[in-house]
Amino acid sequence: MNVMAKAEKKISSAFIYFFGSFGGILFGYDIGVMTGALPFLQADWHLENAASLVGWITSAVMFGAIFGGALAGQLSDKFGRRKMILMSAIVFVVFSVLSGVSPDMGEASAYYLIIVRMLLGLAVGAASALVPAYMSEMAPAKARGRLSGLNQTMIVSGMLLSYVVDFLLKDLPGEWAWRLMLGLAAVPALILFLGVLRLPESPRFLLRKGDEAQARKVLSYIRKNPAEIDQELASIKETAKEERQANQKTSWSTLFSGKYRYLVIAGVGVAAFQQFQGANAIFYYIPLIVQKATGQAASSNLMWPIVQGVILVVGSLVYMWIADKFNRRTLLMVGGAVMGLSFILPAVINWMMPNMNPMTIVVFLCIYVAFYSFTWAPLTWVLVGEIFPLAIRGRASGLASSFNWIGSWLVGLIFPIMTASMPQEAVFAIFGIICILGVIFVKTCVPETRGHTLEEIEEQGTNHGRVKASNPEN
């Protein structure tokens, strides 16, 4: 026991935050890796004309993630954040390897891979929920605001890493290329597992289980001031008490009562719009998009995902610089408007000039990704973290996450089906209209949260509910 205590005391806060962030890299890698693997998989299994199967193979991970996040959240309250992150990493390793060794059995192979990737999605959803929660519970209060931006940077860095790996493996024989791309997703998961083995459990979870001595010890590893430790322990106890009382008084129906309805609709709506705006259509299918636009083989267009990845990383750094300089609503509306125009204008230009350079659509997609990267991508989760009152925070955050994953899954599933049945410009124009609807939604239904305390934000929702009750025609 003393040996363990000494080992834990050597753990620096930088080590803890690095492996918290590393979960984002793992999550991002799996989002991006199918982008390069898909063209080779299609050719190897002759799926060029099987749009629905391609959609299911691509989106299966997101389908599993819908359930993985919710399941992991409940289990982590019973077994602890650290143990569930370790379990998620193991599941990730196992099913990444099983994806890479998929048997070649004709059409049955596609169904095997869909099932395996759904199970892999359980780990993806769990990691996306557990790692930020663990980090927020370990970090000092003054650093929590920056963690959302840091987590987004790590996710897009993981995506960029997967794009680079895909590019480096593209000259291998087709069968080996896609198998190694998918199988190598096990490497960051293994690194995460080994890193988390050295991490202590969250002090919040330890206090919930009544182990105040161990919670104090863990805080002593990452807080230097004893008075700060005492103050934080008292704060955690008070918050836990309030949450227990809130959970006893609330149910799912409470979310849509007059008092909370405004804020729940705002938070869940933003989370849903983030995905239905079509970003993942670009991230998953950019080589196929370029192929359809230019006629070049998708497997020869793997430089484009790297371009998108660099834009995402730079955009996430821009967000960290501007996050506290502009209102949330302003950034969301400006970003959504430019994103919408980036999707709609190629269709308009193509209609006016049928001989339009086919690469025009790719240029506009880069503009879309740039504005998405420092507006809707990070701000969605900043706003979701701020907007829900304590009494409903757990349920409402879970609902927002589920709608976000449902949107991600549906976009990944239907995009290849849509592009197989209509012009590519028309498909993106539809997503562009959704972007504009998102701007209207933010303007009319979302309160400003920057510079407001959580109590002030909750009061906005309460007051809005009173106004609606007294003026039902509004």
pLDDT at 223 over 70: yes
Which of these, 333, 342, 338, lies nearest to 365 by C-alpha position?
342
For 174, the domain range is: 12-199
Is position 212 within any domain?
no
Integer Cα distance of 89 and 19 in angstroms: 12
User: Is residue 46 left, alpha or beta, with left meaning phi > 0 and alpha meaning psi from -120 to 50?
Assistant: left
255 and 184 in a single domain? The answer is no
pLDDT of residue 105: 77
193 and 92 in a single domain? The answer is yes
pLDDT category at 472 given cuts 50, 70, 90 is very low
185 and 275 in a single domain? The answer is no
Among 168, 183, 199, the domain boundary falls at 199
266 and 142 in a single domain? The answer is no
16 and 151 in a single domain? The answer is yes
Is position 299 within any domain?
yes
Tell me how many domains the chain contains. 2
pLDDT (tens digit, 9 = 90+) per residue, 336-347?
Answer: 999 999 999 988
pLDDT at 333 over 90: yes
Which of these, 366, 370, 374, lies nearest to 290 by C-alpha position?
366
Helices and strands counted in the chain (H then E): 20, 0
Is position 28 within any domain?
yes
Average pLDDT over every residue of 46-65: 89
Which of these, 458, 76, 61, 35, lies nearest to 283 by C-alpha position?
35
pLDDT category at 469 given cuts 50, 70, 90 is very low
pLDDT of residue 341: 96
Three-point CA angle 157, 115, 268, nearest 5°: 55
269 and 369 in a single domain? The answer is yes
pLDDT of residue 94: 96
pLDDT of residue 245: 66
414 and 308 in a single domain? The answer is yes
pLDDT of residue 2: 44
Average pLDDT over every residue of 69-87: 82
pLDDT (tens digit, 9 = 90+) per residue, 410-464?
Answer: 998 999 899 888 888 899 999 999 999 999 999 999 888 777 666 677 676 666 6
**Amino acid in position 338:** V
Average pLDDT over every residue of 463-472: 53
Is position 3 within any domain?
no
Is position 150 within any domain?
yes
Which of these, 350, 363, 359, 332, lies nearest to 443 by C-alpha position?
332
164 and 279 in a single domain? The answer is no
pLDDT category at 367 given cuts 50, 70, 90 is very high
pLDDT at 7 over 60: no
pLDDT of residue 433: 97
Average pLDDT over every residue of 63-89: 84
Average pLDDT over every residue of 87-107: 90
Average pLDDT over every residue of 118-125: 90
* Tokens read off for 188: 């960051």
- Please indicate whether residue 80 or residue 94 has the higher confidence score (pLDDT): 94
Integer Cα distance of 469 and 474 in angstroms: 9
pLDDT category at 473 given cuts 50, 70, 90 is very low
333 and 441 in a single domain? The answer is yes
pLDDT at 272 over 90: yes
Average pLDDT over every residue of 393-407: 82
pLDDT (tens digit, 9 = 90+) per residue, 140-193?
Answer: 656 655 666 677 788 889 999 999 999 999 888 878 999 999 999 999 899 989
pLDDT of residue 26: 80
Out of 234-248, 308-322, 459-473, least confident range: 459-473
CB of 27 within 8 A of CB of 127? yes
User: Which of 211-215, 240-244, 370-374, 417-421 has the largest mean confidence?
Assistant: 370-374
Is position 217 within any domain?
no
Is position 228 within any domain?
no
Is position 116 within any domain?
yes
Q: What are the backbone dihedrals phi and psi of residue 449, each rounded to the nearest 5 degrees, phi first? A: -110, -15
- Please indicate whether residue 73 or residue 352 has the higher confidence score (pLDDT): 352
pLDDT of residue 186: 93
pLDDT of residue 369: 95
pLDDT (tens digit, 9 = 90+) per residue, 253-271?
Answer: 777 777 788 888 998 999 9
Integer Cα distance of 455 and 416 in angstroms: 44
Mean per-residue pLDDT of the chain: 83
Share of the chain above pLDDT 70, in %: 86
370 and 450 in a single domain? The answer is yes
356 and 425 in a single domain? The answer is yes
102 and 19 in a single domain? The answer is yes
Integer Cα distance of 49 and 51 in angstroms: 6
CATH code for the domain of 258: 1.20.1250.20
